Amino acid sequence: MAKILGGLTTSHIPAVGNAIHNGLFDDPYWKPFFDGYPPIRAWLDEHKPDLAINIYNDHGLGFFLDRMPTFAIGAAHEYRNEDEGWGIPQLPPFPGAPEVSWHIIESMVEQEFDITSCQELPVDHGFVVPMQLFWPGAPNNPDMPRTIPISANTVQHPIPTLKRALDFGKALRRAIQSYPEDLKVVVLGTGGLSHQLDGERAGFINKEFDQYCMEKIVDDPEALTKISRMELVEKAGAQGTEFLMWMMMRGALGDKVVRRHSNYHIPISNTGAGTMLLECVE
């Protein structure tokens, strides 16, 4: 049977991709951020997951406003990182796990989550940057697990509620655990934390709220479901709504988790950057 080992969270800022490309790991601006990752890599090295479910939000590469899925699940053999407008160097494709994707899709719809299945899905920085942070050299890292991307809409309101995101994760947990083959699975929740790119309030970052979210998501994610979506926009910034991905990830980990590692740093680009490793307790 498939088993969920734990959850990894990280911000997925495009500038991080450039910093990795340029090797700025010891640069004074970047060091406090990159220093948050070696303990998580050590844990991955010890546990060597077979599958990484990468919950991210597309930023206008995979989907446009003509057809905007609220929840989309990749079901492809591989996922390509295509040009998203800035001409940054693209990576080789990430290997998928379509047979597991279809199992998850069947189970999610059975559990009444009506999702969109994607046999082709170009993936942007929201998916790629976390992979590069956790598996340096990705996808060419020898320990690179196969992957399934799951994207939730944060581009256009109405976006899902925090409760729905957590419930999605809970259903995803049942879907993964019912997969009949032995598989070690990690679930990534990427995006956030507080940031706002648009409007006169551009540059808004809310340290106190980010820290509250990082605290509550460990032992009391239900408390976070009391936050309304407009309250989330107000307190986390217009793009801080990406915290929904963390809620989805958390739902997939079960009731009790142990926080193995946590890092928070302001600013990376325009964002409060948070990283966590939460280990499942059986």
Partner 1 sequence: MDITEFDHHSPIPGTTIFDGKMAMKGYALNKMCYSFNGAAARAQYLADPEAYMEKFGLNDEQKQACRDKDVLAMIAAGGNIYYLAKFAGIYRLDVQDIGAQQTGMTKEEFKEKLRKAGD
Binding residues vs partner 1 (CB under 8 A): 15, 59-61, 64-66, 82-87, 155-158, 196-207, 230, 233-234, 238-239, 265-267, 269-270, 272
Among 187, 193, 142, smallest CA distance to 166 is for 187
Shortest reach from residue 1's CB to Fe ion, in Å? 33
**Among 12, 59, 103, 195, which one carries the catalytic annotation?**
195
141 or 262, CB closer to partner 1? 262
145 or 191, CB closer to Fe ion? 191
Question: What number of other Cβ atoms are within 10 A of residue 12's Cβ?
Answer: 29
Three-state secondary-structure class, residue 148: strand
Angle, nearest 10°, between helix axes 243-251 and 207-219? 10
Shortest reach from residue 10's CB to Fe ion, in Å? 11
43 or 58, CB closer to partner 1? 58
Shortest reach from residue 192's CB to Fe ion, in Å? 8
Choose the one of partner 1, Fe ion, none that binds residue 102, judging by a C-beta under 5 to 8 angstroms depending on kind: none
List strand residue ranges (DSSP E) for the chain, in order.
2-10, 51-56, 71-74, 78-79, 94-95, 116-118, 146-152, 183-190, 257-268, 271-280
Please give the Cα distance from 153 to 127 (Å, whole number). Answer: 14
What residues between 182 and 201 interact with Fe ion by CB under 5 A?
Answer: 191
Shortest reach from residue 211's CB to Fe ion, in Å? 20
**Among 12, 59, 103, 125, which one carries the catalytic annotation?**
125
Contacts of 54 (CB under 8 A, 6+ apart): 127, 130, 131, 147, 148, 149, 150, 188, 190
Choose the one of partner 1, Fe ion, none that binds residue 137, judging by a C-beta under 5 to 8 angstroms depending on kind: none
| Known catalytic membership, residue 195 | yes
| Known catalytic membership, residue 12 | no
Catalytic site positions: 125, 195
